[in-house]
Structure 1
Amino acid sequence: MIYLDNNASTRVDERVLNAMLPYFTDFYANAGSSHIAGLSVNEAVALATWQTANLIGASEEEILFTSGATEAINLAIKGLLNQDRKHIVTVATEHKAVLNTCRFMESNGFEVTYLPVAPDGALDFNVLNESITDKTLIVIIMLSNNEIGYIQNIEAVSTIADAKNALLMCDATQAIGKINVDVKKLGIDFLALSAHKFYGPKGIGALYISAKAKLKLMPQIHGGNQQRKLRSGTLNVPGIIGLGKAAEIAFDELESDQKRISKLRNKLENGLLKFEGSFVNGNTENRICNTSNICFPGVNSETLILALQDISVSNGSSCSAVTSEPSHVLKALGLSDENALSSIRFSLGRFTTENEIDETIERVLVLAERLRV
C-alpha cells in the first residue's frame, strides 16, 4: 500500500501510540477526580495541554480540547450566535466545516459574505477590506488550503480585521505540523486543529481561544462544566495525551519533515507533469510542503483513483470525496468542471519513501495515458 492521502488523515506515529497506551489500561482514572489516581491523570493532561499550546505559541488556559477541528469550528462560530453584530466574512475555498456552519448561521439571521480568490488561491486584500463593515463580527479564513495547500497571509488579514474590531478565526487543520504557527504573531482569535492530520489519533482536536474571543463565546455542550464551562464532558485522556505527544514531535521535527517531504513532493510533481497537458492547480510556491494538486486533462480522476488500486490519493476534500461533483475549491480557482473532475490531490507525509514516489510516478503516467479520453 502506498499512501499519498495524508491531508485526509495520517498514520499514528508509534511514539504517539506508545504515549497513549498506558492511559487506556494503567492510568484510566477520570481527570476530574480528586483522588490520587485522578490527580495523576490530570497532571498528564496538563503536560499535553502545554505541548499543544507550545506548538502554536499559545498559553495553556487558551486551549480547549474538542473531538476534532470540525467541532472546534462549530463551537467558535455557533458560539457567537448571541452577539449583536450579525455579519460574517469568509472565503469560497474554505473547508465545508466552515462553509456549512456559516450557512447555518445564515438560517439564524446572520449575513455571510463569501469572498472569491485568484486563480492561484490568493485573497484580494482590497476586497477583504471593503467587505468588512461595522456589523462584521468575525472574519474566517483558513491558514492553508486542504486541497491545493495555498498559504494565506493571515498576518495581513489580522491587521485588516483588527482595525475594524472584528474577530479572526483560522482553520489551521492542514497547516499544523507543516509550517510554523504562532497565534500571537498572526493575530488570531480562534484557531482549530485536529490531531489526526499530524500523526496523532482521530477523535481529538483543539480550539485556541484568545482572551478577547472568550468573552463573546457561548458553550455548545452543557454538563459538568469541564474546560472552564466552555465544553462540558469527561476528557478524552488517551486522545489528549496523543495530541500532546504529536504536537511535541511536530515542534521538534518540523524543519526536518519540511525539508524531506518537500523534496519528495517536488520529485513526484516533476515526474507527473510529464503527462501531456498536465498542470498544477494553485500556487506552486506559497504552499505547504506536502501537497500537489495536478490536473490530467481528459482523464476522469475517479476512474484513475480506482485503477491505481493500492495507491491512495484523492480528488478533493476527504469529507466530500464520495461525491462526483467537481471540487468547490478548484471551481473557485476558475477551473472548468471537466478539468476539476480530472484533478488529483497527492499529499505526502512523514512516512512516505522515495521508492513509493518512483512507483507512483510510473503507474500514474501509464494509467493516465491509458484512460485519457
Structure 2
Amino acid sequence: MAQRRPRHAQLRGMIYLDYQATTPLAPEAFEAMLPWLRDQHANPHSPHRPGRAAKAAVEVARAEIATLLPPGGRVVFTSGATEALNWAIKGSRRPITTIATEHAAVLDTVAAVGDATILPVERDGRVATPPVSDELVVAMLVNNEIGTIQPLDAMRGAPLLCDAVQGFGRVPIPDNVDLVAISAHKIHGPKGIGALWIRDGLHLEPLLHGGDQEGGRSGTLSPALCAGFGAAARLMRDRAVQDAEHVERLWSLATDRLKGWTINGSTEHRYRGNLNVRRPRLDVARLMSDCRDIAFSAGSACASGSGRPSHVLRAIGLTDAEARSSIRLGWGRYTTEAELGDALDRLIDAADVQA
C-alpha cells in the first residue's frame, strides 16, 4: 500500500507519473520545515543562541543524510545536485572519463572544462567496459531517463564521482566512490537544496568563494531546506523496504498492461520506478495533448521543449524516430495502483487511436 499521501499529490486531479523530474513533498518533510519558515529566522552561522539552535537543526539533517551514504566522508550542503556536480568536476582539476548517457549537468560541465573521454554504452544503457582510470571518473548510479543502473562497483577512478540523484536511498551506493552528488527534491524533499559527499582526505578547489560556511563551499544555509532534506532522507531509510515493494508492484502492473510496447534500457539492471517505453509511430505530442491530465515525460525535464531527441536514447542506439516515439513513466511512494492502472488504460487507448 502507498503511504499516506500529501494533499497536493494529485496536482488538482492530475495523475502524477513524473517522479524522475521531481517527487511530491513528503508531509513529514513539510512539517520539519515549517517552524524554520514561520517562527525561527536565525542565521545558522551566527554565534548567538537562536543561531546555535538553527545550526543544530542543520547538523541533525546532515547526520540523517549521512546514514544513506558510505562511511568515511562528510556531507556538504549545496543549492542542488547541479552545483554539487559542477563543484566536484571543476574542483578536482583532473582529466575526466565519463559516459555518453550522463545528465546534462555532467556532460555540459565536462564540455566546459575540456580534456574528457566519453565512453559509449551498450543497448541496455550500461557501459561496455567499466572504466579503470587514473582520471576523474564520473558516472550516474541510476539513469534519469531509462532507469539503467551502472556497475559503479566495478569502476575505479582517481577519484570516482557518483551522480546518485536518482538512486539515493533506493539503490545501494558502492563503497568505492569518492564523491557523491544528491538532491532533496528527488527523495520527497524540498527543491533548492542538494549535497556533495566528499571522502575524507580529498580536497576540492572551491567553486563559490565567500564566507566558507561549509568548509569549501560558501553561502548561508537555509535551516528549513536542510531540515526538510533530513526528514526526507530519514523516511527513505525507514521506509526502504515498503517503498521498494510498492515500486515493484507498480512495475509489474505497468509491464503487464503495456504489451506490445518496447522497454528502453535494461530490464535486469534497472530501478523499477522508471519505465521508458516506445511504440512504433507514436506521436508523443498528440498523446500528451489527449492525456493532458496525466503527468508523464517525453524525456528528461531538463531537456524538454528542446525539440531534440534524447541524447540518452540515441546513445543506446535508437533512431531519431524511435526516440521521438518514446515516453517515460515514473512512480513511487505516493502512486496508487488504481491511479496507475487508470492512467495506463487511458494512455493505451489514446495510442491505439493513433495506430
**TM-score, normalised by the number of residues in structure 2:** 0.93
| Aligned counterparts of 2:175 and 2:321: Cα–Cα separation in 1 | 37
| Aligned counterparts of 2:307 and 2:350: Cα–Cα separation in 1 | 20
Are residue 96 (structure 1) and residue 79 (structure 2) matched? Answer: no
**Cα deviation digits, residues 3-26 of structure 1 (max 9, x gap):** 000000011000110010001122
How much does 1:195 deviate?
Answer: 0.4
| Aligned counterparts of 1:70 and 1:205: Cα–Cα separation in 2 | 8
Corresponding residue of 1:122: 126
SS across alignment from 1:208:
strand
**Cα deviation digits, residues 145-175 of structure 1 (max 9, x gap):** 00111111111113xx3xxxx2100100000
| Aligned counterparts of 1:326 and 1:266: Cα–Cα separation in 2 | 28
Amino acid at match of 1:144: V
Amino acid at match of 1:113: T
- Is the Cα–Cα contact under 8 Å of residues 246 and 332 in structure 2 kept in the other structure? no
- Is the Cα–Cα contact under 8 Å of residues 163 and 181 in structure 2 kept in the other structure? yes
Matches within 5 A, 1:267-346: 267-273=253-259, 276=260, 278-346=261-329
**Cα deviation digits, residues 317-357 of structure 1 (max 9, x gap):** 11001122111111111011101000001010111011111
How much does 1:57 deviate?
Answer: 2.9
- How many residue pairs match? The answer is 342
2:243 to 233, 243, 257: 257
Corresponding residue of 1:3: 16
Matches within 5 A, 1:212-223: 212-213=201-202, 215=203, 217-223=204-210
Matches within 5 A, 1:175-186: 175-181=167-173, 185-186=174-175
Amino acid at match of 1:344: I
**Cα deviation digits, residues 58-93 of structure 1 (max 9, x gap):** 46x611000110010001011123xxx5x2100000
**Cα deviation digits, residues 104-163 of structure 1 (max 9, x gap):** 001xxxx1111000000111226x34xx3xxx43000110100111111111113xx3xx
| Aligned counterparts of 2:206 and 2:285: Cα–Cα separation in 1 | 40
Amino acid at match of 2:96: I
SS across alignment from 1:351:
coil
- Is the Cα–Cα contact under 8 Å of residues 117 and 332 in structure 1 kept in the other structure? yes
| Aligned counterparts of 1:302 and 1:72: Cα–Cα separation in 2 | 33
| Aligned counterparts of 1:270 and 1:323: Cα–Cα separation in 2 | 32
| Aligned counterparts of 2:98 and 2:230: Cα–Cα separation in 1 | 30
Corresponding residue of 2:28: 15
Q: Once structures 1 and 2 are overlaid, which stretch shifts more, 170-179 or 8-17?
A: 170-179
Matches within 5 A, 1:1-373: 1-58=14-71, 62-81=74-93, 85=94, 87-106=95-114, 111-125=115-129, 128-129=131-132, 132=133, 136-158=134-156, 161=157, 166-181=158-173, 185-213=174-202, 215=203, 217-228=204-215, 230-273=216-259, 276=260, 278-372=261-355
| Aligned counterparts of 1:335 and 1:39: Cα–Cα separation in 2 | 54
Amino acid at match of 1:220: L
Amino acid at match of 1:76: A
Amino acid at match of 2:92: L
| Aligned counterparts of 2:311 and 2:175: Cα–Cα separation in 1 | 27
Mark the runs of 5 or more structure 1 residues left unpaired by the alignment.
none
> Runs (4+) of structure 1 moved beyond 2 Å?
none
| Aligned counterparts of 1:297 and 1:329: Cα–Cα separation in 2 | 18
| Aligned counterparts of 2:290 and 2:163: Cα–Cα separation in 1 | 33
Mark the runs of 5 or more structure 2 residues left unpaired by the alignment.
1-13
SS across alignment from 1:62:
strand
- Report sequence identity in percent: 41
| Aligned counterparts of 2:302 and 2:33: Cα–Cα separation in 1 | 27
How much does 1:94 deviate?
Answer: 0.2
CA RMSD of aligned residues (A): 1.3
**TM-score, normalised by the number of residues in structure 1:** 0.89
- Is the Cα–Cα contact under 8 Å of residues 154 and 186 in structure 1 kept in the other structure? no
| Aligned counterparts of 1:352 and 1:15: Cα–Cα separation in 2 | 17
SS across alignment from 1:114:
strand
| Aligned counterparts of 1:186 and 1:211: Cα–Cα separation in 2 | 13
- Is the Cα–Cα contact under 8 Å of residues 70 and 175 in structure 2 kept in the other structure? no
SS across alignment from 1:18:
helix
How much does 1:254 deviate?
Answer: 1.0
Amino acid at match of 1:68: G
- Is the Cα–Cα contact under 8 Å of residues 25 and 189 in structure 2 kept in the other structure? yes
